[in-house]
């Protein structure tokens, strides 16, 4: 089977995609290639499933056994590291101007006893982004506002590959071996003009002005290898599983930092002082991890099963950062910014749980004991014999309770409690000063403790197949101890220095609900959703505790009108209200309102001609800061099936007819509020052609229900 699509448009817009699949009972081969400069992402979920075939989803392949079937806090990688696997379903990109290129091949061999998969995938993204933003930070008895006009040109490319082999040795023994790798490189060119004013809004007292030019290039390599052995004993329900893994993640990069920073105290025209920065920074980061897990299940009776597990992980991190000041005499090593850092994190967790299963009811209660040991050393450079030692050990009991109840008549109840301990990521632990933005300086903290959280959740789902009604609602609550937050110190020149630290008392509560029903069966449906979120976020501002409380309200409606197979209308509306209150500066309490409205209309005309129009109206309001932005977007297209067996389609599309598209965002968190507008792809027209060997299947109805 082959599918090909290509389009050409105004403003030099181009896009193309090709899919090829060939398969039989044992062998599956697929190929995909795509490219565009229309801000479309990479693979869609449909593309991904066609590409991977029977290997699209393999749950439990991480080999981490225990509560909830896995433990993200001993997984390999960090919050800011790229995934080793293909990222699908990202959709359109509404920030800047993006060029995307991707392609790959996949092969599956699938029999009852042997399953083999291998794939390769390449992707490249280039993003050109120009943005303007306003951010106001609230201090103890004052505030300051930053206006930022910046431009970025980023380019990233990655090669990803995977191999998975699963073999049923006999009816009771199974072996799984898999490996995923990624290597890539990229560059980032950043330019920014920033102005700082004392006060909240429309201030006239200029404090600082900075012009920043940074350029970086990097390369990275990562590989994750896992082997899993599963054994079924003759006694039904008695099972054993063992896994072992070895992972590597290395990166290396260079950064050139140049900035001119002017500070105004006595005059608004002539600076009192000027700070020039001209530095080069070379950073090399190496991470290795060994991990293993074991799981044994023993049925005590027809209703009770005992599960026992053990997890082990050893992560070794090494970071070498060399910073040089460039001046007329040459490059001089900066001893305040250069660091050599090593850290070993050892993780042990063992536990047991008892599971009860009867008539659709599944109850699990368990407890584990875990220990995290962080052993680190850092110095100015590798040759420096003076090393500062960090040796910290944390031991905790980790209980877990879960409920899953499959009631009759398509009703489902679930809930649970979980206590987790999350170690700090490597970026926050590194005792490294980052002055890439000289007015916002960050520094790591090797003395961080793991974050502990209590999590509760409960939910209920119900679908009535006779009445076509659907309902679900739920709630969850998280409470944090030793939560990692970023304390701030702002000096008289409005230079902000941040450092991660631990604090207790943060929390988050969320409740949500949805109800959908037919107005006229098969002709019209109405669905409604509501939600409420309450959060408490703590941070230190110049040594004083700021307690930010937020209340979020959201609601939405969706109406589907499908009177015939030739005409459909879909309409929706969503409202999001964020009410934020600050303890240190209550005068700056504010309410942000984001509202989104949409409508879609589809016609089937004679001679297999179709017409589609989509209209979205987005509104962003913050009365406290006079921010009021509207963005109406209208897209229309007309297309016709053609060729024998309707294998071809020709389409004429118009995007953003009003030429109003911008990337707009606004948010309030901790002690700041920000608004940003990004120049992005706006009005253009495109003529495209698509060919599908299976033939085109068109409908004016959307896929799926309400």
Contacts of 656 (CB under 8 A, 6+ apart): 633, 634, 635, 681, 682, 683, 684
Q: Map residue 189 onto helix, strand or coil.
A: strand
Q: Can you read off the two tokens belonging to residue 311?
A: 């997890």
Answer yes or no: are the C-beta atoms of 572 and 560 closer than 8 Å.
no
Q: Can you read off the two tokens belonging to residue 509?
A: 């509560």
> The domain containing residue 411 runs over which residues?
2-326+342-505
CATH code of the domain containing 356: 2.40.170
Task: Look at residue 218 and tell me if it is in a domain.
Answer: yes
Answer yes or no: are the C-beta atoms of 89 and 45 closer than 8 Å.
yes
Rounded Cα–Cα distance for residues 583 and 405 (Å): 43
Rounded Cα–Cα distance for residues 691 and 646 (Å): 9
Judge whether residue 520 has pLDDT over 70.
Answer: yes
Strands 440-443 and 496-503: parallel
pLDDT for 31 equals: 94
pLDDT for 585 equals: 75
DSSP 587: G
Task: Compute CA 178 distance to the chain's CA centroid, rounded to the nearest angstrom.
Answer: 24
In this prediction, residues 315-340 reach a mean pLDDT of 90
Rounded Cα–Cα distance for residues 79 and 70 (Å): 17
Distances (CA, A) of 390 to 9, 167, 447, 512, 670: 59, 44, 7, 43, 30
Q: Which position has the higher pLDDT, 682 or 433?
A: 682
Q: Which position has the higher pLDDT, 95 or 310?
A: 310
pLDDT for 706 equals: 39
Task: Look at residue 247 and tell me if it is in a domain.
Answer: yes
Within 13 A of 497's CA, how many CA atoms are on the CB side?
A: 11
Task: Look at residue 263 and tell me if it is in a domain.
Answer: yes
Contacts of 571 (CB under 8 A, 6+ apart): 558, 559, 561, 598, 599, 600
Task: Look at residue 178 and tell me if it is in a domain.
Answer: yes
pLDDT for 48 equals: 79
Query: What total number of domains does the chain contain?
Result: 1
Answer yes or no: are the C-beta atoms of 349 and 66 closer than 8 Å.
yes
Judge whether residue 347 has pLDDT over 50.
Answer: yes
Summarised one tens digit per residue, pLDDT across range 4-23 is 999 999 999 999 999 998 88
Judge whether residue 455 has pLDDT over 80.
Answer: yes
Using alpha carbons, select from 563, 448, 565, 536 the residue that is nearest to residue 499: 448
Using alpha carbons, select from 311, 308, 285, 283 the residue that is nearest to residue 297: 308
Q: Which position has the higher pLDDT, 493 or 101?
A: 101
Number of helical (H) and strand (E) elements in the chain, helices listed first: 2, 33
**Letter string b/e over residues 194-227, b meaning 16 or more CB atoms within 10 A of that residue's CB:** bbbbbebeebeebbbbbebebebebebebbbebb
Beta strands per DSSP E along 521-543: 524-541
Task: Look at residue 638 and tell me if it is in a domain.
Answer: no
In this prediction, residues 486-502 reach a mean pLDDT of 90
Owner of token pair 């260079």:
254
In this prediction, residues 181-200 reach a mean pLDDT of 92
**Four-CA torsion 140, 143, 149, 151, nearest 10 degrees:** 10
Q: How many residues does the chain have?
A: 706
Answer yes or no: are the C-beta atoms of 480 and 455 closer than 8 Å.
no
Contacts of 704 (CB under 8 A, 6+ apart): none
Task: Look at residue 706 and tell me if it is in a domain.
Answer: no
Q: Can you read off the two tokens belonging to residue 548?
A: 């930010």
pLDDT for 351 equals: 95
Contacts of 632 (CB under 8 A, 6+ apart): 615, 616, 617, 618, 658, 660
Among 343-347, 390-394, 657-661, name the one with the lowest average pLDDT: 390-394
Summarised one tens digit per residue, pLDDT across range 149-175 is 999 999 999 999 999 999 999 989 999
pLDDT for 312 equals: 96
Q: Can you read off the two tokens belonging to residue 514?
A: 């949805």
Summarised one tens digit per residue, pLDDT across range 562-579 is 998 899 999 999 999 999
Using alpha carbons, select from 653, 652, 675, 648 the residue that is nearest to residue 664: 675
DSSP 702: P
Cα three-residue angle 523-527-529, rounded to 5 degrees: 175
Q: Can you read off the two tokens belonging to residue 399?
A: 């209980």
Q: Return mean pLDDT, the chain.
A: 89
Residue 377 has phi, psi (to 5 degrees) of -140, 145
Answer yes or no: are the C-beta atoms of 448 and 422 closer than 8 Å.
no
Summarised one tens digit per residue, pLDDT across range 28-74 is 999 999 999 999 877 777 777 778 776 666 655 778 888 754 443 33
pTM, 2 dp: 0.86
Q: pLDDT-based confidence at 79, cuts 50/70/90? A: very low
DSSP 606: T
Q: Is 392 exposed, middle or buried (0-12, 13-18, 19+ CB in 10 A)?
A: middle
Task: Look at residue 10 and tell me if it is in a domain.
Answer: yes
* Partners of 395 in beta bridges: 371
Rounded Cα–Cα distance for residues 448 and 424 (Å): 7
Answer yes or no: are the C-beta atoms of 455 and 420 closer than 8 Å.
yes
Judge whether residue 214 has pLDDT over 60.
Answer: yes
pLDDT for 54 equals: 66
What are the start-end ranges of the H helices in 141-229?
Answer: none
Rounded Cα–Cα distance for residues 423 and 348 (Å): 13
Task: Look at residue 16 and tell me if it is in a domain.
Answer: yes
pLDDT for 66 equals: 83
Summarised one tens digit per residue, pLDDT across range 261-291 is 999 988 778 888 999 999 999 999 999 999 9
Judge whether residue 102 has pLDDT over 60.
Answer: yes
Answer yes or no: are the C-beta atoms of 143 and 134 closer than 8 Å.
no
């Amino acid at each position: 089977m082959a599918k090909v699509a290509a389009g050409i448009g105004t403003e030099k817009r181009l896009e193309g995609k090709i899919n090829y699949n060939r398969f039989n009972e044992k062998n599956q081969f697929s190929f995909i290639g795509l490219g565009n400069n229309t801000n479309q992402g990479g693979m869609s979920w449909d593309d991904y499933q066609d590409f991977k075939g029977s290997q699209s989803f393999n749950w439990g392949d991480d080999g981490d056994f225990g509560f909830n079937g896995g433990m993200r806090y001993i997984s390999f990688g960090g919050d800011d590291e790229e995934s080793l696997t293909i990222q699908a379903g990202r959709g359109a990109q509404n920030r800047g101007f993006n060029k995307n290129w991707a392609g790959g091949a996949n092969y599956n061999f699938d029999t009852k006893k042997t399953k083999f998969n291998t794939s390769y995938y390449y992707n490249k993204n280039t993003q050109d982004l120009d943005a303007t933003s306003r951010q106001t930070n609230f201090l103890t008895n004052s505030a300051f506002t930053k206006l930022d006009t910046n431009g970025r040109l980023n380019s990233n490319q990655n090669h990803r590959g995977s191999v998975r082999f699963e073999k049923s040795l006999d009816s009771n023994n199974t072996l799984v071996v898999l490996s995923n790798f990624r290597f890539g490189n990229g560059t980032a060119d950043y330019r920014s003009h920033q102005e700082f004013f004392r006060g909240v809004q429309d201030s006239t007292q200029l404090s600082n002005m900075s012009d920043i030019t940074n350029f970086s290039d990097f390369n990275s390599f990562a590989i994750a290898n896992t082997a899993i052995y599963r054994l079924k004993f003759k006694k039904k329900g008695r099972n054993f599983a063992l896994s072992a893994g070895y992972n590597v993640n290395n990166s290396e990069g260079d950064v050139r930092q140049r900035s001119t920073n002017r500070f105004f105290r006595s005059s608004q025209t002539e600076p009192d002082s000027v700070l020039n920065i001209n530095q080069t920074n070379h950073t090399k980061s190496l991470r290795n991890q060994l991990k293993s897990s074991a799981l044994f299940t023993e049925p005590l009776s027809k209703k009770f099963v005992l599960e026992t597990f053990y997890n082990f992980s050893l992560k070794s991190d090494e970071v070498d950062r060399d910073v040089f000041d460039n001046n007329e005499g040459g490059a001089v090593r900066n001893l305040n910014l250069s660091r050599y850092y090593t850290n070993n994190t050892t993780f042990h967790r063992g536990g047991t749980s008892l599971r009860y299963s009867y008539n659709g009811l599944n109850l699990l209660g368990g407890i584990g004991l875990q220990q995290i040991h962080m052993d680190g050393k850092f110095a100015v450079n590798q040759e420096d014999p003076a090393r500062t030692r960090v040796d910290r050990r944390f031991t905790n009991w980790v209980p877990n309770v879960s409920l899953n109840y499959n009631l009759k008549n398509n009703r489902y109840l679930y809930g649970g409690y979980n206590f987790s301990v999350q170690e700090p990521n490597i970026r926050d632990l590194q005792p490294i000063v980052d002055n890439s933005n000289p007015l916002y300086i960050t520094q790591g903290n090797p003395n961080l403790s793991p974050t502990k959280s209590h999590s509760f959740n409960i939910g209920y789902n119900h679908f009535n197949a006779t009445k076509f009604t659907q309902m679900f609602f739920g709630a969850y609550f998280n409470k944090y101890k030793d939560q990692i937050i970023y304390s701030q110190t702002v000096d008289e020149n409005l230079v902000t220095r941040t450092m991660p630290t631990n604090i207790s008392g943060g929390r988050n509560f969320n409740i949500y609900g949805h109800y959908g029903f037919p107005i006229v069966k098969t002709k019209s449906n109405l669905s409604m959703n509501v939600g409420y979120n309450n959060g408490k976020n703590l941070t230190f501002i110049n040594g004083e505790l700021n307690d930010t409380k937020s209340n979020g309200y959201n609601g939405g409606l969706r109406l589907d009108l499908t009177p015939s197979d030739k005409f459909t209308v879909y309409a929706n509306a969503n409202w999001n209200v964020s009410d934020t209150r600050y303890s240190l500066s209550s005068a700056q309490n504010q309410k942000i309102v984001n509202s989104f409205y949409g409508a879609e209309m589809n016609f089937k005309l004679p001679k297999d001609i179709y017409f589609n129009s989509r209209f979205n109206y987005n509104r962003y309001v913050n009365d406290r800061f006079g921010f009021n932005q509207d963005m109406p977007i209208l897209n229309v297209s007309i297309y016709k099936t053609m060729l024998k067996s309707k294998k071809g389609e020709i389409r004429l599309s118009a995007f953003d007819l009003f030429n109003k598209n911008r990337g707009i965002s606004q948010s309030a968190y901790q002690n700041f509020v920000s608004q940003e507008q990004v120049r992005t792809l706006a009005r253009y027209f495109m003529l495209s052609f698509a060919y599908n060997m299976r033939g085109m299947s068109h409908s004016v109805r959307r896929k799926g229900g309400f």
